[in-house]
Amino acid sequence: MLVSDEENVALLEENEEEENLPPRSLCQRCPFLRLLISPTFLWVIIVVETIGFAAFMAYAAINEEKAPYCAYSPFYLFYPDADYSRPLHLAPVNDAISYNYQSFVGGFNQDLSLFQAPPSKELDQRWRDLYSLGMSRISRYEAAKLPNATVPIPGDEGHYIVELDVFHQLRCLDRIRQTIYSDHYPDARISLGDNQQYASHCIDSIRQSLMCSSDVSLLVWQWDEATQQSRIRNDVVHRCRDFDNVKGWALHRQLKGGFNTSVRAH
């Protein structure tokens, strides 16, 4: 069938119009891409990321004692052995920390602890047993993570010297006890030598430690029938670090043979 000249002209004009149309956009040619940039899809992504971040922060809060810096770096969860710019552990003993619950002793009348006994050789030994483990040795790797530098041990340069501050504080507290009972411990009299300065150091060291740990256990008041008054009770339950575990760590790391402070090790 022959096509008339008018029909040919019409077909040519139609082809020219199609050629002059702008190209179809990538979104028009790809429905999946159109979905990706749609407002609904973007809102879904925002909600999912928000939930994920909230879950991570909850995990970090729950595990803060086991991983103290997980709240500071989300990468800790996936790269726990990475070399971060800040120390991962303020103290190597953190890995040995566990907790228990203890009721404190009131410390008045008949409610006394064994450490409130009158001065004696037995009491002195009981106090010394609390802090006698003294100095500890840690590896070069552990020392590198401390916020404060320490020195290597002369003759054992692969290990570095440290002491758990709790032993220093207990030693200080024992010295204050001796000063109170200076009639029994004449060398601890406040008037002798540097005893006043040492006692002042010990008192303020213990103050700083108490404020640093900030025990938030709650004291309570209970009705006392004998006095017909509400009386404060400080023999309440506390959540405590297991001191036996701390001593066990120090015993395993104990520095034996002394430490020569006049020798500089490299």
- Residue 77 in this model has a pLDDT that exceeds 50: no
pLDDT at position 73 is 41
pLDDT at position 47 is 72
Q: Which domain holds residue 173?
A: 89-213+232-266
- Residue 205: strand, helix, or coil: helix
- Residue 263 in this model has a pLDDT that exceeds 60: yes
Q: How far apart are CA 264 and CA 266, in angstroms?
A: 7
Is 118 inside any structural domain?
yes
pLDDT at position 154 is 92
Same domain flag for 106 and 197: yes
Average pLDDT in the chain: 81
Range in 23-27, 120-124, 166-170, 214-218 the model is least confident about: 23-27
Q: What is the pTM of this model?
A: 0.66
Q: How far apart are CA 189 and CA 191, in angstroms?
A: 5
Same domain flag for 38 and 127: no
Beta partners for residue 233, in sequence order = 220
Kind and range of the H or E run holding 179: helix 165-180
Identify the band that residue 257 occupies on the pLDDT scale cut at 50, 70 and 90: confident
Same domain flag for 197 and 124: yes
pLDDT at position 57 is 59
Is 223 inside any structural domain?
no
pLDDT digits (tens, 9 = 90+) for 6-32: 555 455 455 555 555 455 555 555 665
DSSP letters of 6-74?
HHHHHHHHHHHHHHHSPPPPHHHH-HHHHHHTSHHHHHHHHHHHHHHHHHHHHHHHHTTTTSTTTTT-G
Same domain flag for 75 and 41: yes
Same domain flag for 129 and 108: yes
- Residue 220 in this model has a pLDDT that exceeds 50: yes
Ranges of beta strands (E only) in 79-192 are 99-103, 135-139, 152-153, 156-163
Based on the structure, what is the number of domains in the chain?
A: 2
Identify the band that residue 74 occupies on the pLDDT scale cut at 50, 70 and 90: very low
Same domain flag for 94 and 51: no
- Residue 67 in this model has a pLDDT that exceeds 50: no
pLDDT at position 251 is 96
